[in-house]
Amino acid sequence: MDRKSVAKILKEIGTILELKGDNPFKTRAYYNGARTIESLTENLNNLVESGEIANLRGIGQALSDKISTLIKTGSLPYYDELKSTIPSGLLDMIKIPGLGAKKVKIVYDKLGISSVGELEYACRENRLRDLEGFGEKSQQNILSGIELRKKYNERFLYPVALNESEKIKNYLIQNEKIIQLEVAGSLRRKLETVKDIDVVCSCLEEDRKEIMDFFDSYPEKLSTINKGETKSTITLESGINCDLRLVEEDSFAFLLHHSTGSKEHNTELRGYAKELGFKMNEYGLFSDEQNIACTTEEEIFEKLNMDYIPCELREGMGEIELAQKKQLPELYDGNPFYGLFHIHTTYSDGANTIEEIVEACQDLNLQYVGICDHSKAAFYANGLNEERVKQQHEEINKINASLTNFKVLKGIEVDVLTDGSLDFDDSTLSEFDFVVASVHSQFNLSEDAMTERIIKAISNPFVTMLGHPTGRLLLGREPYKVNMEKVIEVAGKLGKVIEINSSPYRLDLDWRLGKLANEHGVKTALNPDAHSIEGLTDYKYGIGIARKGRFNKESVLNTYNAKKIESYFKEKHPH
Ligand code: DGT
Ligand code: CA
Ligand code: ZN
């Protein structure tokens, strides 16, 4: 069991105790313990092994015993028993925005509500409105929280789905009767969230049954939704569904194209094929009932007299017309990739020191890293004040003096204040090689006010890049209201970069705006916004999004080598 799972269980114990109305001190001890474990930098196993766990701040005897049991045995009888004393639905209810343990306890005690479904119904019946401590507005908030959750529950973050798809792919390829295998659907298009995994395979007709049996015996299957001869669906333990479709070899390329989608792309392409006198479906391409053989997707596009359309572009957003005119943009393929920007360290809310980050970046064969900690307004993230900026710069100077063939760039993620001014004055800002401006507070402004705020921020001559432009958290928080078209226009005029925040929770700039950004000549940077060494490689998710956004090599800052990026920043610096 790892650190994160232990922290999660401690937190859940705290929640259950709170729901049961247990002693608040005891409850708080579990919450504090969870936080301590979550932010540990030492190895938890070692701390348990040596007994040092009991000496950690906020971990008393009772907690250290429980953590040791969890680490040593992988389970905790106290937790299992405690869990069985409350309806499991209460823990689901807590996850709804606007409802904490206190409120859940009230609706449970007063109305006997113990599941999200019952809660939704009670809200619709106005039963929360008249409950003490609630009201019309809080009832409405809870209802929208439930609706949002429903929407989010239907989809999964890209890396979660990718990981599941790789496991099932590795399982399926063990079956020697399968001839070709690809993961299609939104995953293949690198969409930021994914509903289900679509696997397509080719095989001999007589092997179908055996392959479907094999698929249905997947060890991580939770249940079977449907089992047929050419199409089956199972639910995996992680909650995501997986479809498997089987065809014969000569239809494989067509089924792969069909299942990759998107639906909009397919419909449009079929319409275009029809104009050329073809009929196209998931089994083939036909001209006067004559089958036109294609063994690859490349051949299909060739037969339709158009450029090959990369999967990331198949969203039905004008790519077919461009491919017909042979005007598809040259997409960035992830090479070259010389360095990273927007990395947090222990100076603010990151888990690793600058030196550790530098070492990890060198291991990744990079030439430079742009350190970007938070500024002072982000007090919850231990943001830097002017004094600590100075200290950090001294440290960076020392590190740079000791390095050959690697460069640490001085960056900052400066908070954009409510009125669009920045958290540092220009003289402090001038000390940095580059400045990322981000909104971290006051998300509820009107669209006009937010747009003006962001435009004012990027208009500061010291600002190089706009960070996570809409503040969205995929499947977690809606973007704030902002007119991105206007922001992009201004960024283009002023030569400002808009990051593609490559954390899989954000992927913001939204790729749908990439086309517009390109039209305005806006460059991007694939910023992992890493808070630890592990997060550095999140930039890979940004590559897929940059491709979807039609960015070419020249518009991606990470393709600049150390020398070029330094002169780029110098040139942009107002001095
Ligand atoms: P999602 O929602 O993340 O699963 O997105 P997709 O694109 O993977 O959608 P899914 O799994 O419902 O369907 C897989 C592919 O099958 C889809 O990308 C295109 C194709 N497809 C599904 N429904 C239709 C349809 O009604 N017409 C056409 N032409 N293609 C369809
Ligand atoms: Ca899908
Ligand atoms: Zn940020």
- What confidence tens digit (pLDDT) does each residue in 512-530 have? 999 999 999 999 999 999 9
- Which homologous superfamily is 153-247 in? Beta Polymerase, domain 2 (3.30.460.10)
Tokens 């000549």 sit on residue: 521
Number of CB atoms found within 10 A of residue 181's CB? 18
Ligand number nearest to the C-alpha of 191? 1
pLDDT exceeds cutoff 90 at 147: no
Atom of ligand 1 nearest to the CA of 186: 8
The CATH code of domain 339-572 reads 3.20.20.140
Res. 41 pLDDT band, cuts 50 70 90: confident
Res. 29 pLDDT band, cuts 50 70 90: very high
pLDDT higher for 83 or 147? 83
Q: Say whether 339-572 and 1-86 share the same fold.
A: no
For a ligand 1 pocket test, name from 264, 265, 266, 548 the mutation site with the most ligand atoms within 8 angstroms of its C-beta.
266
All structural domains of the chain with their residue ranges: 1-86, 88-150, 153-247, 249-328, 339-572
pLDDT exceeds cutoff 90 at 121: no
Collapsed DSSP state (helix, strand, coil) of residue 394? helix
Atom of ligand 1 nearest to the CA of 266: 29
Atom of ligand 1 nearest to the CA of 262: 18
The CATH code of domain 88-150 reads 1.10.150.20
pLDDT exceeds cutoff 80 at 152: no
As beta bridge partners, residue 498 has 466, 524
Ramachandran angles phi, psi of 469, nearest 5°: -60, -25
| Helix ranges, 41-115 (H) | 44-50, 61-73, 77-84, 89-94, 101-111
What's the gap in Å between 467 CA and the centre of ligand 3?
6
- Quote the pLDDT of residue 88: 86
Collapsed DSSP state (helix, strand, coil) of residue 213? helix
Res. 158 pLDDT band, cuts 50 70 90: very high
pLDDT exceeds cutoff 90 at 287: yes
Res. 288 pLDDT band, cuts 50 70 90: confident
Topology of domain 1-86, CATH = DNA polymerase; domain 1 (1.10.150)
For a ligand 1 pocket test, name from 198, 244, 255, 317 the mutation site with the most ligand atoms within 8 angstroms of its C-beta.
198
Cα dihedral: 83, 88, 91, 93 (round 10): -160
The CATH code of domain 249-328 reads 3.30.210.10
- Quote the pLDDT of residue 355: 98
For the four alpha carbons of 216, 221, 223 and 226, in that order, the dihedral sign comes to: negative
- What is the spatial distance between Cα 500 and Cα 68, in angstroms, rounded to a whole number? 41
Alpha-carbon Rg for the chain in angstroms: 27
> Is 133 in contact with 105 (CB distance < 8 Å)?
no
